[in-house]
Amino acid sequence: MKAALLKAFGEPLALEEVREPVPGAGQILLQVNACGVCHSDLHIARGEWERFKNLMSLPVILGHEVAGRVVAVGPEVEELCEGDAVGVAWFCYTCGRCPYCRRDLEVFCENSEITGVTVNGGFGEYMLAWASHAVRIPRELSLVQAAPLFCAGGTVYSALRKVKLDNSSHLAVWGTGGLGQFAVQLGKLAGSRVTAVDTVDAKLALAREFGADDVVPAGEAETWFEDFERQADVALVCANSAQAYHGAFRSLRKTGVLLVVGLPSDPLTWTAADFVRSGVRIVPSRVVTRQELRELLSLAARSTLRSRVERLPLEEINNALERLHEGTIAGRAVIDFAV
């Protein structure tokens, strides 16, 4: 099978023919139809996340926004059959036994496996997955549209579930690319007023297309949010920028909530007095659980929740990663194996 392998950090992915895997007990073999290209793939490929390096055994196939169809099942698999449309997210396995799994906090599992990090991911024509962690995709969704929901959409859905959004709330979305486009739509579906902030005009235009009430260039945000009527109750930061976090903090009303999703390399600096004076609460959110994914996929199947997708062949994976680094992809790049 054809796959894109990370063989050395900081080097382009290598397009090679590798052996098609065989499912073991509890596993399925997935023919990958689509796999989203995530900023996390870029960080991992460039070796920028030190904590993951010790977990990884190179070469490895990246890609963790996976959608495809089951083509073979291993022993002990009863819940899925050949032909089923399923997706696989960042955590492709959690143990179900550790203290976090027992408390319904599987994203903190102490014995997890990570798609495209500790096991081969979706930048290949076939992929092994645990049947227990493959989530069915409703027939109303194309696999290309479903793929970005397994990380980008799921991550912001999980974050926004941690706050109350309704027609009395104002949500500010900082960074309106692959994740932020979903945040804008989810905020509007909840009835909230939504303001989108970004440095790229094309991304602001996309946010407007998806229903944002206001779009603000990042360079003008400090002045724009000075007006109390424009200040937000919730600020969700999807950007990988410390500057965005500090701007988002200042965009909040007293007692607002800062949702932490984007992962900048630079540290974030606030004082205890900043929190005492503002009453702002910081709420971090880590990817998405299987139950949250089921909820999100059901919502997408019965609503207009969609991604602006740029479909690319696997041969364009390195170009896609470079454009992601440059910030020139408005929406979500998806490797489509039918292209």
What CATH code is carried by the domain that includes residue 308?
3.90.180.10
Element of type H or E holding 233? strand 232-237
Entry pTM: 0.95
Residues 8 and 139 in one domain: yes
Residues 136 and 170 in one domain: no
Residues 83 and 24 in one domain: yes
pLDDT, averaged in runs of 10, over the chain (339 residues): 97 97 97 96 92 91 98 95 97 96 94 97 98 97 97 97 96 95 97 97 94 97 96 96 96 97 90 95 96 97 94 97 90 93
Residues 170 and 145 in one domain: no
DSSP secondary structure of 35-98 = EE--HHHHHHHTT--HHHHTT--SSEE---EEEEEEEEE-TT--S--TT-EEEE-SEEE--S-S
**For residue 201, what is the domain's CATH number?**
3.40.50.720
Q: What pLDDT, on the 0 to 100 scale, is given for residue 144?
A: 97
Let me know: does 133 contact 93? Beta carbons within 8 Å: yes
Q: What pLDDT, on the 0 to 100 scale, is given for residue 49?
A: 87
Residues 200 and 107 in one domain: no
Q: What pLDDT, on the 0 to 100 scale, is given for residue 330?
A: 81
In terms of residue numbers, what domain contains 238? 154-284
The number of distinct structural domains making up the chain is 2
Q: What pLDDT, on the 0 to 100 scale, is given for residue 11?
A: 96
Q: What pLDDT, on the 0 to 100 scale, is given for residue 50?
A: 86
Closest CA to 120 of 95, 93, 147: 93
How far is Cα 339 from Cα 336, in angstroms, rounded to an integer? 6
Q: What pLDDT, on the 0 to 100 scale, is given for residue 331?
A: 84
Q: What pLDDT, on the 0 to 100 scale, is given for residue 248?
A: 97
